[in-house]
Structure 1
Amino acid sequence: MQKGKYVLITGASGGIGQAVARKLASLGWNLYLHYHSNEEEIQALVKELRNEKIDIISLKADLSRPVEAVHLTKHIHTLHSIVHCSGTAQYSLFQDIKEQEMDTLWNVHMKSPMMMTQSLLPKLLATKGSIVIISSIWGQTGAACEVVYSSVKGAQISFVKALAKELGRSEVRVNAVAPGVVDTNMISGFSESEKMEMKEDIPFGRFAYPSETADAVAYLVSDQSSYITGQVLGVNGGWYM
């Protein structure tokens, strides 16, 4: 149990973010829950987790605007871990994607997480904490029609590896989880036939449950992974090795 420890979870209203919150709450973590527009989901999650007898603080910010991301960090006091779950997908041919869409993907997946991490680093150095970024299988191998998304997810992995080296002497660990296809609202735009085709390519023959990504996060922020840093943990059912 991690009684007394505090974790910031960005994108906590999303499918993976909610699963991470539930898992860490069950282990005794106190939660800072970031959200942008889905306040109803956050309120429902806070109500659900009240029985865990932990501190829960919700924080609103638009991570497509890095200035809001930095402002959010001013409301955080004691901190032992950050789990960057915020993300948005964009499906289109590369030649059709607009500059504004590129900027949004970059800010949400990279610039805001980097600036938040930089702002909160003194707190993590004080507690010898940990950072986990939810990247993607596409950051490892790339995907057609998701070129910019794949690029920012790949940048997250490079950030993890570089920052882990820089913070190693300080015993602040930095890792990534790279899920394959997770059964969340992010895939709601695909037809049933498209989903079936994807499942046929996955050795396990199914999509990941959000809880399976959350289990990987729980391991990486725990003392059980005390000598693990700079790593990318694939949770993809054998789709990419």
Structure 2
Amino acid sequence: MSRSVLVTGGNRGIGLAIAQAFAENGDKVAITSRSGEVPAELAKYDVIAVRADITDAEQVDRAFTEIEAAHGPVEVLVANAGITKDTLLLRMSEEDFTSVLDTNLTGTFRVVKRASAKMLRARKGRIVLISSVVGLTGSPGQVNYAASKAGLVGFARSLARELGSRNITVNVVAPGFVDTDMTAVLSDERRAEIVAGVPLGRYAAPAEIASAVRFLSSDEAAYITGAVIPVDGGLGMGH
């Protein structure tokens, strides 16, 4: 059956690939972004785009209300929206730290809280949070980003215990380095250093992250909750 799916930050990169994977599966897909525009890659699907800044609880609520009117209550939530503001700790401003935490961690809290209320009434739901290998291994210059992504793990596992009795699963996908606009800005030297540390010897394609997310949202994954699934080419093994 076609489900109501919401992907936050679904306008580019990993989020776009996830939205496309669900749309190809026949689901009713909505995305949020700060622009509120449907990307060209999703134009051939019946996807709706809603403008929402997840750092604003009122905007989140309005976005859900609009999505629910079009597609019904959200049955699958993929919390993907996130930002980076990389710099070494001693150069990092208060705003650099708090803005990343407010978007990546507290923003996830806002959308998950809004979605889970309807899932509880329906006694079913799938929630997938997009973390990062950096949240498990750490990375110099990313203490804000790593803290926010590590926080998602504790958040998901606590919520999995809260919601499990209502047939709602909560899982985390932790991508490694993925070939997106965010990583395209890295120098060739830095890209080569990163690949050298990846056992599979390459970056991931966004579609490979999307496949893991779609699996965790499927009936086949009904007995998986509180899990952290690395999709990182082996970069973070053991963490």
Q: TM-score, normalised by structure 1?
A: 0.92
Give the alignment partner of residue 49 of structure 2, picking from 40, 53, 58. 58
Task: Kindly provide the amino acid, as one letter, of the partner of residue 167 in structure 2.
Answer: E
Instruction: Name the SS of the counterpart of 1:227 in structure 2.
Output: coil
Kindly indicate whether the alpha-carbon contact (under 8 Å) linking 2:23 and 2:47 is maintained by their aligned counterparts in 1.
no
Which letter maps to 1:135? S
Contact 1:70 1:112 in 2 (8 A): no
Match of 2:82 among 83, 87, 91: 87
Residues in 1 aligned to 2:179 and 2:2: alpha-carbon distance in whole angstroms: 31
Give the aligned partner of residue 11 of structure 1.
9
**Quick one: distance in 1 between partners of 2:41 and 2:34?**
14
Map 1:221-236 onto structure 2 (within 5 A). 221-236=217-232
Aligned AA (1:67): E
Structure 1 residue 210 and structure 2 residue 209: aligned? no
Say whether 1:48 aligns with 2:44.
yes
Is the Cα–Cα contact under 8 Å of residues 11 and 39 in structure 2 kept in the other structure? no
Higher mean C-alpha displacement, 207-216 vs 91-100: 91-100
Partner amino acid, structure 1, of 2:233: G
For the residues of structure 2 that align with 1:117 and 1:197, how far apart are their CA atoms?
36
Tell me the TM-score normalized by structure 2: 0.92
**Cα deviation digits, residues 70-121 of structure 1 (max 9, x gap):** 3322223222110011111222101111112222211211112112211221
Q: Retained in 2: the 8 A contact 1:66–1:107?
A: no
State how far apart, in whole Å, the 2-side matches of 1:60 and 1:37 are.
6
Between stretches 199-208 and 102-111, larger displacement belongs to: 102-111
Q: Does residue 150 of structure 1 match 2:146? A: yes
90-99 vs 174-183, greater mean Cα deviation: 90-99
1:69 and 2:64 are equivalent in the alignment: no
Conserved in 2, the CA contact under 8 Å of 1:79 and 1:123? yes
**Which secondary structure does the structure 1 equivalent of 2:128 belong to?**
strand
How big is the shift at 1:38? Answer: 7.2
RMSD: 1.4
Task: Write the letter of the residue equivalent to 1:132.
Answer: V
Structure 1: distance between partners of 2:137 and 2:39: 36
**DSSP 3-state at the match of 1:108:** helix
| Residue segments in structure 1 that go unaligned for 5+ positions in a row | 50-54
Give the partner amino acid of 1:183: D
CA drift of 1:63 comes to: 2.2
> What's the % identity of the aligned pairs?
34
Structure 2: how far apart are the matches of 1:197 and 1:102? Answer: 26
Number of equivalenced pairs: 232
* Cα distance change, pair 115–30 in 1 and its aligned pair in 2 (3 A): same
SS in 2 for 1:76: helix
Q: Is the 8 A contact 1:83 1:134 kept in 2?
A: yes
**For residues 109 and 118 of structure 2, what CA distance do their matches in structure 1 show?**
15
